Structure 1
Amino acid sequence: MYLLDIWGSLFFKVLAIACSFILLPMMLHYLGGATFGVWVAIFSVVSWVVFFDLGFGSGLRNKLSESLSKDDLQESSILISTAYGSMGLLSLFLYALFICANFFIDWQAVFSTNVVSQYELQWSMAVLAFLFLLNFTLLIVLQVLHASKKTFLTVAHQFLANFFALVAVFLAKTLIAPSLFVICLLYGISQVVTTVYISFIFYRKNFSLVPNLRSFSVNRIKLIAFLGGQFFIIQLAVLVIFSTDKIIIIKLFGPAALTEYELVFKAYSAILIISTLFLTPLWSRYTHAAAEEDYSWMRGALRRSHWVCAILFIPSMILYFFGADIVFLWAGYRIESGSSLFLAMSIFVLVRVWSDIYAYFLNGVGVLKVQMWLAVVQAVINIPLSVAVAKIYGVSGVIYGSTLTLSLSAILLPLCVYWYLKNKKNLSS
């Protein structure tokens, strides 16, 4: 079942990436360069909504994995219904706040543009925010899929979302004059349609888990939110760690340096994708194994994870030695073959893969306090550390700064896993 999850995820991930590579230039050609830039900015702003779930999705994933491992379908239904109801109410509240502010904000000033009228920007933001928040609630199904050990369907969701968006943009490009509002409307609808379709596929075969108002429980909100709150702090801290490098680079070294960084990072991102495909299904499986006290399986899964990390050392070394040629063949952009960026990125990616092995384990078993406080410390020190090292080593120094920050996880998280398994062994003996 686990191998089926991985191969299914890999299949749909390849299709999703292919669709996204076709979709981007099609949207660019339809909207034109200036308006496309506005779309990217709008999409980035609206996408931040996923961080307003306060970690509720991750909390649900763990609690639901526990109830499903015990075949407690009644409790599972209550958890799912409570999650949908809570996210629905939160979405309504957020949209009410947004609508109150939307028509008073000068969006042309926010996005530094006059190629799109204020009127179109206001309605584009209104419709895209509505559809994203609607989808925000419906996306609870992805956490249900993870907890049900059907991770490959979450990747299938990503593929279908890209595919439906591709079809919608193609039709718009063929039939409708260039319009930012049309893109916002069609893209948002494609996301909602995809989530509804995946939900239909899952709940049709798992009718006992279908959410309903009668199963909504205020007590379960507290149960999920307590665990979810810790996930939320970790998510925000991780966001700071992994989203500030680009800002630091463009401020210190300019756009050209950021272009080189982005190309090198994109090349190495294939390694992170492979790692994620292997590790993501393990999260819920660790939760199930912990509930069943199957610690021997957990140790075996960790050993297999180490092998994956060792295997991924090979492509990282290939990119280190031949990365400049690979980037040139792929993007037509020449980066100096001896660039220290490749060495810095090789180290960073391997440290991240190693840390993720233990982070997914601890997430699965719900041991979050150490991660939470560690993430807060890392978020605080990452920016000043990266800036300080960048002043010595240039752009590579920014990556080294983030690597040093992440190294705290690479050292402390394995120790947490070791003590967790040792403690469980002592209790069982």
Structure 2
Amino acid sequence: MMLRLLRDKSILTAAFHKPYNTSTLEGRSFERKRRIALTALTSAVLRILTMAVPLITLRITYDYLNAEVYGLWSAVTTFFALFAFSDLGLGNGLQTKLSQANGKDDIVLCRKIISNTYIVLFLVALILLTAFFSAFWLVDWASVMNAQTQETINIAASIVFVIVIPKLISIPVAIIQRTQLALQEGYRSDIWGIIGCIVNLVFIVIIAKLDLGKVTLLAFTSILPILFSAANMFVYFGFQRKDLRISFRLFEPETAKSLLSLGIFFCILSVLTTLGLSMDTFIVARTGSLAEAGSYSIIYKVAAIFSAVVAILSAPLWGANGEAIARGDVQWVRDNTRRMSLIMVSISTLLVLVGLLSAKFLFRIWLGPDFEFSLPVLFWISVMQILLSFISPYFMVLNALGEIRVQIILFSIYTPLSFVLKYYLSAIYGVSVVPMIGAIFYLLIIVTGCYYFSNKQLAKREGK
């Protein structure tokens, strides 16, 4: 089955085909596949680099920062993953609304959606930056992050600063990726990301070898993505798609209100998913130690390789689904979703098996014989990656339809239940309980519910 899927000619060769005539149903179907394949190829290269660069530099950064500072970095990054919802869900709302407008071939509406989104997010970033600067000096960050050595206590606040400020500045800038994905041009963002990864690799080595400072290293890795997103945004609206250029004159309260209305639901969903899926390292840091949190973070990064196919193939599906549904091509969405889900599960399962069998050998090479890790933790994190691979295409269906309420309901059950159990049981039974609880409840609640409701909504659109 696996080999048959990989030999699928329409997937492997579509990216190299010239653009299809989109005036026909068949042409639109082939063009969507071409763009999905093209974005998938560039995303594959980017994903390989985004995983390879941290792994290649892992020994350098781990040795240079030491276990305690590395754990502090991981804990701060995980804690402030909550800023994922600081755009009020407008990035997701943009992707849904813009893909639908693109399906209607309405350039004027596309430009209004883009302009209103960027203007609102620019204002949001200003407000959050002001609020953070006001509160930063009042918080004992060393205590919040459970810093234990004198070094981490001394630099805890600095690390928080250099991580959070770039995240806030990036709120309006990083939306360029969402814009291009909605228009099925995600490969453009990928190309900029590929260049950024190469630059990041070079400068991490330089900073560590020249001993320019631990905070300097972390600051550079935080700021770099913003610089390349800004460059992408300038080139895209300035040269590649002048017809979509942002204009303050296009700001309309009603358009902004409509985007915010949908965005708020995405924002709530983002909060719930972040708390449910992205707080594990923080939980380990609080119930265990920063050293354990650092080890857990490294295991999670390695396991993320197993679900790389999710990011590679899912990203272009949202925009393609939205455009197809707007045109009434619902059957294409149904068939393509099933097919992509099968491909993702097949590939990620194979990667999981290879990873589990070679984990000890790989960790010994990368981090040396003194690095300790938990095989049960790696196993359960890997199970979660397979579950994510299966259900991700169905999330893209619900997102393209704008059906967010059902996802909120599902995560409203999953997130508090799993979070509380992870936090308290890990303090009693150890770190391996954290990913185990996450995977089991994710299967029972999220996977089952999302699969059912996405198919139900597609059947409704077909009038069945």
**In which range does the TM-score fall when normalised by the shorter chain?**
0.7 to 0.9
Q: What is the TM-score when the length of structure 2 is the normalising length?
A: 0.78
Give the C-alpha shift of residue 367 in structure 1: 1.4
Instruction: Indicate which of 180, 204, 209 corresponds to 2:244.
Output: 209
The residue number in structure 1 matching 2:336 is 301
Give the C-alpha shift of residue 146 in structure 1: 0.9
Give the C-alpha shift of residue 373 in structure 1: 0.8
Give the C-alpha shift of residue 268 in structure 1: 2.7
Give the C-alpha shift of residue 418 in structure 1: 2.0
Give the C-alpha shift of residue 267 in structure 1: 3.6
Farther-moved stretch of structure 1 (88-97 vs 126-135): 126-135
2: CA distance between counterparts of 1:183 and 1:334?
Answer: 24
Mapped contact 1:12–1:152 kept (Cα < 8 A): no
2: CA distance between counterparts of 1:124 and 1:312?
Answer: 34
The residue number in structure 1 matching 2:255 is 220
Q: How many residues align?
A: 425
Partner SS, residue 378 of structure 1:
helix
Does residue 158 (structure 1) correspond to residue 212 (structure 2)? The answer is no
Give the C-alpha shift of residue 335 in structure 1: 9.9
2: CA distance between counterparts of 1:312 and 1:343?
Answer: 13
The residue number in structure 1 matching 2:456 is 419
One-letter identity of the residue aligned with 1:367? E
Mapped contact 2:176–2:233 kept (Cα < 8 A): yes
Does residue 313 (structure 1) correspond to residue 349 (structure 2)? The answer is yes
One-letter identity of the residue aligned with 2:264? G
Query: Are the structure 2 counterparts of residues 63 and 127 from structure 1 closer, same or farther at C-alpha, using a change threshold of 3 Å?
Result: same
The residue number in structure 2 matching 1:85 is 119
Q: Provide Cα deviations, 1:113-148, integer angstroms capped at 9, x if missing partner.
A: 654897x88777667655443322111211111111
Unaligned runs of 5+ in 1: none
Does residue 65 (structure 1) correspond to residue 99 (structure 2)? The answer is yes
Mapped contact 1:81–1:212 kept (Cα < 8 A): yes
Mapped contact 1:164–1:194 kept (Cα < 8 A): no
Q: Provide Cα deviations, 1:372-412, integer angstroms capped at 9, x if missing partner.
A: 11111111211344468769986544333212221212212
One-letter identity of the residue aligned with 1:198? N
Q: Provide Cα deviations, 1:19-78, integer angstroms capped at 9, x if missing partner.
A: 334555555676677666665566556664332112111001110111112121111111
What percentage of aligned pairs have identical amino acids?
A: 21
Farther-moved stretch of structure 1 (15-24 vs 336-345): 336-345
Q: Provide Cα deviations, 1:315-342, integer angstroms capped at 9, x if missing partner.
A: 3334455544454455445999995556
Query: Are the structure 2 counterparts of residues 348 and 33 from structure 1 closer, same or farther at C-alpha, using a change threshold of 3 Å?
Result: closer
Query: Are the structure 2 counterparts of residues 418 and 29 from structure 1 closer, same or farther at C-alpha, using a change threshold of 3 Å?
Result: closer
Query: Are the structure 2 counterparts of residues 357 and 389 from structure 1 closer, same or farther at C-alpha, using a change threshold of 3 Å?
Result: farther
CA RMSD of aligned residues (A): 3.7
Mapped contact 2:162–2:219 kept (Cα < 8 A): yes
Partner SS, residue 342 of structure 2:
helix
Mapped contact 1:249–1:257 kept (Cα < 8 A): yes
Partner SS, residue 463 of structure 2:
helix
Query: Are the structure 2 counterparts of residues 321 and 4 from structure 1 closer, same or farther at C-alpha, using a change threshold of 3 Å?
Result: same
Mapped contact 2:75–2:281 kept (Cα < 8 A): no
Mapped contact 1:347–1:403 kept (Cα < 8 A): yes
One-letter identity of the residue aligned with 1:417? S
User: What does residue range 19-418 of structure 1 map to in structure 2 within 5 Å?
Assistant: 19-23=53-57, 48-107=82-141, 112=147, 114-115=150-151, 129-169=164-204, 177-178=212-213, 180=215, 182-183=216-217, 186-187=220-221, 189-203=223-237, 204-249=239-284, 261-262=296-297, 264-308=299-343, 309-332=345-368, 340-341=376-377, 343-386=379-422, 395-407=431-443, 408-418=445-455
Mapped contact 1:250–1:257 kept (Cα < 8 A): yes
Give the C-alpha shift of residue 294 in structure 1: 0.4
1: CA distance between counterparts of 2:360 and 2:320?
Answer: 39
Farther-moved stretch of structure 1 (319-328 vs 385-394): 385-394
Partner SS, residue 53 of structure 1:
coil
Query: Are the structure 2 counterparts of residues 157 and 48 from structure 1 closer, same or farther at C-alpha, using a change threshold of 3 Å?
Result: farther
Partner SS, residue 213 of structure 2:
coil
Partner SS, residue 211 of structure 1:
coil
Query: Are the structure 2 counterparts of residues 329 and 30 from structure 1 closer, same or farther at C-alpha, using a change threshold of 3 Å?
Result: closer
Q: What is the TM-score when the length of structure 1 is the normalising length?
A: 0.84
2: CA distance between counterparts of 1:258 and 1:178?
Answer: 22
One-letter identity of the residue aligned with 1:368? I
Mapped contact 1:65–1:148 kept (Cα < 8 A): yes
